[in-house]
Amino acid sequence: MNLKSERRGIHVDQSELLCKKGCGYYGNPAWQGFCSKCWREEYHKARQKQIQEDWELAERLQREEEEAYASSQSTQGAQSLTFSKFEEKKTNEKTRKVTTVKKFFTASSRAGAKKALAGKLKEIQEAKAPSPSIHRQASIETDRVSKEFIEFIRTYQKPGQDIYKQCKLFLDTMSHKRELSIEEQSECAQDFYQNVADRLQTRWKVPPEKVEKAMDEVEKYIMTRQYKYVFCPETTDDEKKDLAVQKRIRALHWVTPQMLCVPVSEEIPEVSDMVVKAITDIIEMDSKRVPRDKLACITKCSKHIFNAIKITKNEPASADDFLPTLIYIVLKGNPPRLQSNIQYITRFCNPSRLMTGEDGYYFTNLCCAVAFIEKLDAQSLNLSQEDFDRFMTGQTSPKKQESDSFSPDVCLGVKQMCKSLDLLSQLNERQERIVSEAKKLEKDLIDWTDGITKEVEDIVEKYPLEIKAKSQALAAIDSENVENDKLPPPLQPQVYAG
């Protein structure tokens, strides 16, 4: 397309400007050289196939919802009752989403829903832009998960079919049970997990590892579908608790790592990197729909924490190190809808994963962290009650070491940079000192050698070395002693006349 318009710039020909189809109208590069009419036709043809596919999808979705819809007919009255409540209670975006989804399937007739969905699809395609409709994205995801599930379950052959039937049955039953309290729904889900696992193991004799894998997929499949109904449901005060925790964490913004005795030093760039990653992971948890995926986020976060501790302390982290750090991460990250997520995982996660596995351990620690934050008081931070109160009411904030030279809104990177610059200049200074010291030392050494030479020369001058001839001494070695002449003359033999 680009190429074509360039060429036209050089070689403008009447035929080039006309519609490629030769209908006589002018074409437009934006329509790939077609006129508007031909383009629409061409485009339509190209998209027809995709629309057809999407139509099939819509039909299938509709079929799936049909049963649920038929059954919900009987409880229509009750549902509209919840609707009015919905309207009153919608306090966040999520509730609005759920409402549209519900409206979509309950308010319109079957054919109407299909038409609406198809219409929506067309709209999306013609707008040629990613749809902002969350509902649409959600159903795409649901669809993808279904496809994957069916593909996966096929590998299990007969037991797979059975499990698929069970899942369908369960989803169907659950759609009747929307009015039950969340605890009862959770109970149903847990029973379902238990039953499916037992069935696979005892009836179909599937080996344990395969059971575990199948259970993961089952959880993924049913919870993707159930999510919108059972995550932070309006029958509970989960949302209220979310807000309370969020507010609490915000009020505790002044808590420093030192107060919590966090064994992590954010001065080290790698460590602060890990801390940021851990925070990202824990925040990401809210975006997942399947309990297991949420757990995976917590685990990823924990691994980053362990890394941070390992780098700082150079030994494997114990729980004594891990929990305070996790608390600190939660305080720093303030993850959205924390309570709702915890409750959702508790209620709808496959229990075997939650009880004994590694994921379960990290999840338990997160629960501990939240419980600690909720109950946190002066004593648990080793502060006096007065200090704690003052910090909580925002009268003062604890002095941070770095706060003297930085305003609080300077970002971390800049702070790190300033610190590094500081260190560098210190290093530079020290280096200069070393160089000057070295020069001095060199000079001293030279002076010293000079000095020594001079001294030696002086001494040599003062005491010149005189070599005297030693002729006598040499001769005397084997002769009589030097002092001989002082001695009396040797005795002469005397002859006595006898």
Partner 1 sequence: MAAGAGAAAGGRSFSFKVVLLGEGCVGKTSLVLRYCENKFNDKHITTLQASFLTKKLNIGGKRVNLAIWDTAGQERFHALGPIYYRDSNGAILVYDITDEDSFQKVKNWVKELRKMLGNEICLCIVGNKIDLEKERHVSVQEAEMYAESVGAKHYHTSAKQNKGIEELFLDLCKRMIETAQVDERARGNGSSQSGTARRGVQIIDDEPQVQSSGGCCSSG
Judged by the rule CB under 8 A, the positions of this chain that interact with partner 1 are 78, 81-82, 85, 179-181, 183-184, 190-191, 194, 197-198, 201-202, 208, 211, 234-237, 241, 261, 303, 306-307, 309-310, 314-324, 342-343, 346, 349, 351-352, 354-358, 360-364, 367-368, 370-372, 375, 379-380
**Is 87 or 457 the residue whose CB approaches partner 1 more closely?**
87
Residue whose token pair is 């997942």: 288
**Is 198 or 444 the residue whose CB approaches partner 1 more closely?**
198
Could you give the residue ranges of the DSSP H alpha helices within 155-285? 157-176, 182-198, 208-230, 238-251, 257-260, 269-284
Q: How far is the CB of 95 from partner 1 (least distance, A)?
A: 14
Q: How far is the CB of 415 from partner 1 (least distance, A)?
A: 28
3-state secondary structure of 405: coil
Q: How far is the CB of 324 from partner 1 (least distance, A)?
A: 7
What secondary structure, in 3-state letters, does 100-113 show? HHHHHHHHCCHHHH
Q: How far is the CB of 228 from partner 1 (least distance, A)?
A: 17
Q: Say how far apart CA 402 and CA 406 lie, in whole Å.
A: 7
Q: Say how far apart CA 288 and CA 416 lie, in whole Å.
A: 33
**Is 334 or 343 the residue whose CB approaches partner 1 more closely?**
343
Q: How far is the CB of 423 from partner 1 (least distance, A)?
A: 27
Three-point CA angle 355, 361, 367, nearest 5°: 95
Q: How far is the CB of 199 from partner 1 (least distance, A)?
A: 11
**Is 138 or 188 the residue whose CB approaches partner 1 more closely?**
188
User: 312 CB contacts (<8 Å, ≥6 apart)?
Assistant: 263, 264, 265, 268, 271
CB-CB contact of 167 with 222 (8 Å): yes
Q: How far is the CB of 105 from partner 1 (least distance, A)?
A: 19
From the list 25, 33, 31, the residue with the least C-alpha distance to 7 is 33
Q: Hey, what are 422's tokens?
A: 């500081």
**Is 306 or 406 the residue whose CB approaches partner 1 more closely?**
306
**Is 35 or 295 the residue whose CB approaches partner 1 more closely?**
295
CB-CB contact of 206 with 159 (8 Å): yes
**Is 142 or 350 the residue whose CB approaches partner 1 more closely?**
350
Residue whose token pair is 């575990």: 212
